[in-house]
Structure formats: C-alpha cells, structure tokens
Amino acid sequence: MKGLLYLTFNYILYHRWKTAVMIACLFLTAILPVTISGLIRSFEKSIYTRSEMTPVVIGPEGSALDLTLRALYFNRGSGEDRLKTISMSEQEEVLRDGLAIAIPIHCLYEAKQFPIVATTGDYFRFRNLKIAQGEPLAILGECLLGADCAGELGLVPGDQLLSDRPKLLDLAGDYPLKMTVAGVLAKNGSPDDKGVFVDLKTAWIIQGLGHGHQDLQSPEQDENVVRQDGQIKALPSKVVPYTEITESNIESFHFHGDTSSFPVSAIIAVPKDIKSQTLLEARYQNNDRGVQFVRPVESIKEMMSVLLRVRQFFMINTILIAVSTLLLTALVLLLSLKLRHGERETMFKLGCRGGTIIALQVMEMLIVGVVATVLVLAVSWFGSSLAGSYFDSWITRGGS
Amino acid sequence: MIHIQNLDFRYPRAAFQLVINDLKIETGEKVAFVGPSGSGKTTLLNLISGITLARSGTIEVAGNHVGSLSDKQRRDFRVAKIGFVFQRFELIEYLNVSDNILFPFLINPSVDCTPEVRHRMMGLADTVGIASLLKRYPRQLSQGEQQRVAICRALILSPPLILADEPTGNLDPANKEIILDLMLSEFEARTRTFVVVTHDQSVAQKCDRMIDFSSFHHQLKTGEAVS
C-alpha cells in the first residue's frame, strides 16, 4: 500500500499538468451546481428562519412580498411603493382586545447606505437583540447600530452618524439628521446586523414631520420674524431647523399634528395564539383602510417556488454538462490506461499482481476525484458561509 | 538451473508451435537464443519466467516447477528468482533513477526495501557508472544510461537467473559493446545464469552457448542447439 501510494503520488507529480487539468475539469463541472445548491439552501434557511420567526406583518396594500421584505429585511425597494405607509394608529387596531403584540417598523431612510429602522423597544426584545457596547436608545436623535453596520462604518458609542439625504438636489426637501451612536448591538447573523435603529420619533424628524429650531417665541428673537399673523410666524431663511439633537436644543423639538396619524412602513404583529391570529386576520379582511394582513412565510414560499423552478432548469443544464464532462474524463482515463499499457506489462513481468496494477490506477483516479471534491466542497462552503450575510444585505438593498 | 522437458506450446488460433523435448541450462551458464523474429525466442523466455504457461511439458527453474505454481507463487517466483532486462528498457517515466532501480520493491509487498537494499542500490549504480544520475528521470538519460538503470533493476533483488530480451537492440554500437561487457562481467561476478534473446551475433558469441531458432521456424527440438 505504501509503495502504491508512493508510485501514485510520483505519477501525479510527474504528470502534474495533466492531473491539474483533470482536477480542474471535475472541479468546474461540480462547482457550479454544488455551490448554487449550497447557496440556495443557505438562502432558504436564512430567509425561512426570519420569516418563520415573524408570524404576521400588517402594512399598506400592494405586493405582499415587498411588504414582507420591507418589514423583515428593511428593504426600501424602489419606485412609489417604497413610500407607501400605514398610519401609526394601526398599532392600536392590532393591540385592540389584546390579540397580539404590535411592533411598528418605519424604514424609509438610510445612513451611509445602511437602512435607518425606526421601531420601539419591543422590537429588540422580539428579535432577542442584545447590546454589545454602549446603552439602549434613551433620547431623541440617538441610534443603535447593528454589528456589521458599526464594524463597516467604524463607529462606536458616542460617535455621530449623518442620515443620507434622500434627494440630493432637492434643497427644500428633508434635512439630514446627525445622530449620536448610543450603542452597538451584538451580532446575531440577521439583517439586524446591518440596521441603524432609531426611535420612531427620530425617524419622523428625519422625515420632516417634527423639527427643532430657535425659540421664536422669546422676545429677543422678534427681530428674526419676517411676518406674523396671529400665532403664525414667518421665518427668514437664516432661521434653519436644527440638524442635530443636543441636550441644549432637545426641548425645541416638536411635532406638528397627532403622532397617531404619522406613518409607519409596517407593523409586525405577534399573535398570542392561532385563534388570536385568525381573529386578527379576519379583522383585516375587506378593510377599507388600504391595509393588508400578510403571513411572511407564505410570501417567502411563493418567492422561493419561482426560484426553485429556475433552479430546476439550471440543474438540468448542469446535469447535461456533468455527463459530458464525465464522459470526457472517462475517455482521458481510457487513453491514459492505453498509454500505460507498457508500464502494466513491465509491472506484471516484474512480479506485480494484476489487482495491484488496477489498484494503482484506481488510486490515481481516487486522488484526482478526492482533490476535486475537496476543492469543490471548500469553495462551496466558503461561498455558502459568505452567502448568508450577503443575501441579507442583498435583500435589504432591494436586490441591487 | 533450467530444465525443460516435453514442452509443447502453441498460441490459440495461431500456427505457431514450440516443441522442446529436453533442454538444460546449467547454473552460471550464459546462453543466447538467436533466430529470426517469430521463431519463439521471447515466447521461451516468457515460459521460463512463468509469464506464459505451456499446455504440456514441464519447466523447472531453480528447483521450481513453473507450471504447477499458483498465480501468487509464480509472481513470488519471478520476484525472487528472475531479473529482467528488456530491449526498450521499460523504465517507469515518472520515477527517478533510484526509484526505477528499486521499482520491484515498490510493487511487491513480499519484499521490503530495507536500508541494506538502498545501500546495495547505491553500490550497483556506482558499479555501472550511474551513481551521479540517481535523481534524474529516464527522459533525461541517454539510451545507454537507461539500459544501465535497467540492469541495476534486474540485479537489485540478486536473482539467480537473468533473462534479457534483446538488451542491446536499441543501443548504438559503442554503447552496445559497453553494456554487453558490463552485463556479462556483472553476471559472471555474481555467478548468475544468463539467458539472452538476441539478433546480434556479436552478443551471442560472447555467451557460453548459442541456441539457434532459425532452422526451426515453428518447431524447436532438443539437441538442435548449436555450439
């Protein structure tokens, strides 16, 4: 056996290019289907795990899948759909009769291309998110960063992060808000790792529904008032809203209107039991508020069924390529056997048994096969391990 | 060393027939098989070594009845009793010179490649003048050097019988002379029996005895050996 191994390795080393080509052929044939299967499994696992943990999502009418991706993956989507929201009062509807816990999610803006996710403290408990550094959200204008977001941006508690301006050339549009990093969440291998979590009110300030500015009621600011009509004061352009919430100006921040009418992207509902879920679903059937009730698992299943149909076509194609490659490999081996006829004859004459000669050639094939397999598994494993976080951020970015 | 009696061999579906009533080759004797191609010289080497089996008759080599040995016993017999030298050298292209010399040990689990064997290999290589080439591969050697490696491989197990099939057939005249002298001196020094198949009269004439297959194109009978 030792002698056979020695001979085999010498043969492989001597014919290293031929061996490398054979390994490359097998590797290239197997790598695509194996990796894609692995990636799809990883994607399925990742996406199903999150959707199964989120029993119900309530949000604006439209695509159930878009709503699911927005609520679970903070996908901002594109086009007009991304601006569709429901009223915050919908939370009360979900909470009514104690059928479920209602967790609002508002996800319209970004900071350095990471999604700003406005929610309540229930969300962190629901997703079991722990704080690794710093403190939880306490005051307006603070944010909690997901582990990947903090890592990629190099931010730690106490640093500041500016929200992205949604429309760069719209000078009359929303102003970016400089947020203070209150803490960093522990990594949990989900889209939460890439989130910038803020309080709902902070998001509404970014959206322009609330703001803070110089106190124009004080007598010393009268010179700044351009025109006054009763309680309504016209401000000159030099009085701009604050773009940062600090201890000194936090008192000046206020909202115009009833916050229960303010928008949220979706509400995650966690029903107490199946019966509560059914009752809740009934409540949303044929409602005229433009709100829909979605079971994320079903939306994801629908999406995956399309993906799996595509995979089937791909696999058929791959099988055909694999068969042709294996036939070519067999041809190469047969030609190799023919070329080595003299060697076999010599071995036989020198007293080697036929089985040993066959074992020698089988061992070479095995080594080629094993090396190709190991390479395929290693690359596939590496790809799959990267895929989890990649898929999450891919979905979060809206598939771009 | 070799005693053949009542041998009758023919290949299936072929007109060729080799019949030997009685042939003896003594220990230490150097014998040349000469004659035209297809006259049965190589066939007789194969029969002596047990690579091919005769349907009738007996071949006794170094006390072993070749025909009555099992497959395994025949393999062990070849390993222990016979050293081969081939016309095309039959070196293994992917092994270097030292591994080619030690090749019988690599393919036969019945023999161990001990440090003494390696020492013997070095000695043999030194004797035939290839000690400086041990790390080279066959393609890096001249034909004369390749045949020297093949001679070392034949001698490494110290077999009592050497069978050589046209060992100088692929060599230029200068190398032929050197290799032949080297083989004969080495075999003589080790008192080995040497049977060589050759078309070359000069090779045959250096042997103790010549058996001419030419007048027995299909049939060789005892006692018809010449000189």
Q: Chain A residue with minimal CA distance to B106?
A: A3
Give chain A positions within 8 Å (CB) of B49. Answer: 349
Lowest model confidence (mean pLDDT) among A232-236, B114-118, B138-142: A232-236
Residues in chain B within 8 Å Cβ distance of A359: none
- Mean pLDDT score, B142-154: 87
Which residue has 């009269």 as its token pair?
B201
Predicted pLDDT of residue B227: 35
DSSP H or E stretch at residue A277 = helix A274-284
pLDDT in tens, A24-58: 988 888 888 888 787 777 778 878 888 888 989 99
How far is residue A140's CA from residue A121's CA, in Å, rounded to a whole number?
14
Which residue out of A4, A19, A352 would a mutagenesis test of the B interface target, given it has the greatest number of B Cβ atoms within 10 Å? A352
**A258 against A136, higher pLDDT:** A136
Average pLDDT over residues B201-226: 67
Name the residue facing A350 among B72, B94, B103 (closest C-beta): B103
Q: Which residue of A has its CA nearest to B162?
A: A350
Q: Which pLDDT does position A373 carry in this prediction?
A: 92
Question: d(Cα A131, Cα A151) in Å, to the nearest integer?
Answer: 14
> A27 vs chain B: nearest CA distance in angstroms?
25
* Cβ within 8 Å, pair B105-A351: no
- How many Cβ pairs closer than 8 A exist between chain A and B? 59
Candidate ranges A12-26, A375-389, B181-195; pick with highest mean pLDDT: A12-26
Q: What percentage of chain B has pLDDT greater than the value 90?
A: 14
Select the more confidently predicted residue: B195 or A351: B195
Contact A146/A196 with Cβ under 8 angstroms?
yes
Nearest to B84 among A1, A6, A349 (CB): A349
Residue B133's nearest CA partner among B105, B91, B88, B169 is B91
Report the pLDDT averaged over residues A365-375. 91
Residue B75 has its nearest CB partner, among A1, A10, A351, at A351
Q: What is the SS3 string spanning chain B?
A: CEEEEEEEEECCCCCCEEEEEEEEECCCCEEEEECCCCCCHHHHHHHHHCCCCCCEEEEEECCEEHHHCCHHHHHHHHHHHEEEECCCCCCCCCCCHHHHHCHHHHHCCCCCCCHHHHHHHHHHHHHHCCHHHCCCCHHHCCHHHHHHHHHHHHHCCCCCEEEEECCCCCCCHHHHHHHHHHHHHHHHHCCCEEEEECCCHHHHHCCCEEEECCCCCCCCCCCCCEC
Subunit contact B109:A3, Cβ cutoff 8 A: yes
Average pLDDT rounded to a whole number, residues A265-278: 90
Q: Which residues of A touch B (CB under 8 A)?
A: 1, 3-4, 6-7, 10-11, 13-15, 342-343, 345-353, 356
Q: Mean pLDDT for chain A?
A: 82
Query: Which residue type sits at A207?
Result: Q
User: Does residue B112 sit at the A interface (CB-CB below 8 Å)?
Assistant: no
Is a pLDDT exceeding 90 seen at residue A236?
Answer: no
- At residue A394, the pLDDT reads 65
Residue of chain A minimizing CA distance to B47: A349
Residue B168's pLDDT is 81
User: What ranges do the domains of chain A cover?
Assistant: 2-47+303-396, 54-213+223-294
pLDDT digit string (tens) for A151-210? 999 999 999 998 887 665 555 556 788 899 999 999 988 889 999 999 999 988 888 887
User: What does the pLDDT read at residue B225?
Assistant: 42
Average pLDDT, chain B: 83
Whether B84 and chain A come into contact, CB under 8 Å, resolves to: yes
For A337-361, what is each residue's pLDDT tens digit?
A: 788 888 888 888 887 777 777 788 7
Q: How far is B155 from chain A (nearest CA, A)?
A: 12
Show residues of chain A in contact with B71, CB under 8 Å.
Answer: 353
Cβ contact A1–B75 (<8 Å): no
Closest chain A residue to B105 measured between Cα atoms? A3
B42-97 pLDDT tens trace: 888 889 988 888 888 899 998 888 888 888 888 888 888 888 888 778 888 899 99
Residue A362 neighbours by CB distance under 10 Å: 13
| Mutation for testing the A interface, residue in B66, B73, B107 having most A CBs under 10 Å | B107
Using pLDDT thresholds of 50, 70 and 90, give the confidence band for residue B186. Answer: confident
A-chain residues near B72 (CB < 8 A): 353
A10·B94 Cβ contact <8 A: yes
Query: Lowest-confidence range among A257-271, A302-316, A334-348, B207-221?
Result: B207-221
Across the interface, of A1, A349, A351, the residue whose CB is closest to B76 is A351
CA–CA separation, A353 and A359 (whole Å): 10
Q: What pTM value is reported for the model?
A: 0.63
| A343 contact residues in B (CB cutoff 8 A) | 92
Lowest pLDDT segment from A41-45, A281-285, A299-303, B197-201 = A41-45
- For chain B, list the domains and their CATH numbers: 26-54+71-212 (3.40.50.300)
pLDDT of the residue at A312: 83
pLDDT mean over A67-87: 80
Q: Which residues in B lie closer than 8 A to residue A4 (C-beta atoms)?
A: 106-107
Kindly list the residues from chain B whose CB atom is less than 8 angstroms away from the CB atom of residue A3: 105-109, 113
> What pLDDT score was predicted for residue A330?
83
> How confident is residue A322, by pLDDT bands cut at 50, 70 and 90?
confident
Is residue B108 within 8 angstroms of chain A, CB to CB?
yes
Looking at residue A252, its pLDDT comes to: 77
